[in-house]
Amino acid sequence: MIEIRNVRKSFGNHEVIKGVSLEVKKGEVLCLIGASGSGKSTMLQCINGLEPIQAGEILVDGISVHAKSTDLNLLRQKLGIVFQQYNAFPHLNALENVALAPRIVRKMRPKDALEIAREHLDYVGLSAQAEQYPTSLSGGQQQRLAIARALAMKPDYMLFDEVTSALDPELVGEVLDTIRKLRTNGMTMIMVTHDIAFARESADRVAFFDGGVICEIGDARQVITAPNKERTQQFLQRVL
Ligand code: ADP
Ligand code: MG
């Protein structure tokens, strides 16, 4: 479970997260929506311990992310993260890309790491592309590769930050299908997305970020089809 308690985060004297609290339970899918600059990406970075916070607390399975005693490398093995930009190693083929972290971080034998990598390429539908280099893959395939790489570390949680925003429209579906498959298999996920239809159909809950606070959070369908707050309504009118 991820527990976020009254978190505040500033860059210099610019406060961008202004007291956010929320909980994500095991198996739950939470989508974060909101205007550009409202603090969604920063929130994910704080959960992953990539950014320090100025107040409050974030707990992942009871472990305080920002406590000095916390081993961030160990914690990050619990949290897979995928960004908008594909970040595969260009000089390694797809299979080697997925095998890398199990080999280096988990210190698996090369043979075992490759076996894990094959399983995860298969999971995201890239078995046929195992020997291909990242630059020869389509954007959708590269994002599925990024997901496979994160999954190979056997995370308990997946964080997605606009993973389909840079894709040509015809490639969005295959990536969303992979995320839906993860949901079906019970993965706990926090996903920043502009895809309101996906959030409505495939999230359990939706949180609407507005100026560094959660303006509204609730059942995905309810928040998107019948929001309680005027601000949420205005945002949805603009993007739908
Ligand atoms: P979103 O993902 O909702 O578009 P962000 O979390 O990226 O929003 O940004 C929230 C605010 O924090 C913005 O005003 C942005 O300019 C600022 N910001 C984000 N990252 C940094 C950074 N590394 N240094 C300074 N300001 C930042
Ligand atoms: Mg962002």
Question: Does the model's ipTM exceed the 0.90 cut?
Answer: yes
State in Å, rounded, how far the first CA of the chain is from the last one: 31
| Ligand 1 pocket mutation, candidates 11, 32, 190, criterion most atoms within 8 A of CB | 11
Q: Which ligand is nearest to the CA of 36?
A: 1
Q: Say if ligand 1 is within 6 A of residue 193 CB.
A: no
Q: What pLDDT is attached to residue 192?
A: 98
Predicted local confidence at residue 101, as pLDDT: 92
pLDDT one-digit tens code per residue, 17-63: 999 999 999 999 999 999 999 999 999 999 999 999 999 999 999 99
For 42, the token pair is 């920063």
Identify whether the C-beta of residue 64 lies closer than 8 Å to the C-beta of residue 58: yes
pLDDT of 86 strictly over 80: no
Contact 227, 32 (CB under 8 A): no
Q: What is the pTM of this model?
A: 0.96
| Tokens read off for 70 | 């916390």
Q: Where are the beta strands (DSSP E) in 67-184?
A: 79-82, 157-161
**Residue owning the nearest CA to atom 25 of ligand 1:** 11
Backbone angles phi, psi at 91, to 5 degrees: -90, 0
Looking at the CA of 33, which ligand is closest?
1
Q: Give the model's pLDDT for residue 131.
A: 98
Strands 188-192 and 157-161, bridge-based pairing: parallel
Q: Which residue has the tokens 């961008």?
A: 16
The model's pLDDT over 97-134, given as tens digits with 9 standing for 90+, comes to 999 999 998 899 999 999 999 999 999 999 999 999 99
Beta-bridge mates of residue 218: 206
Provide the β-strand partners of residue 160: 82, 191
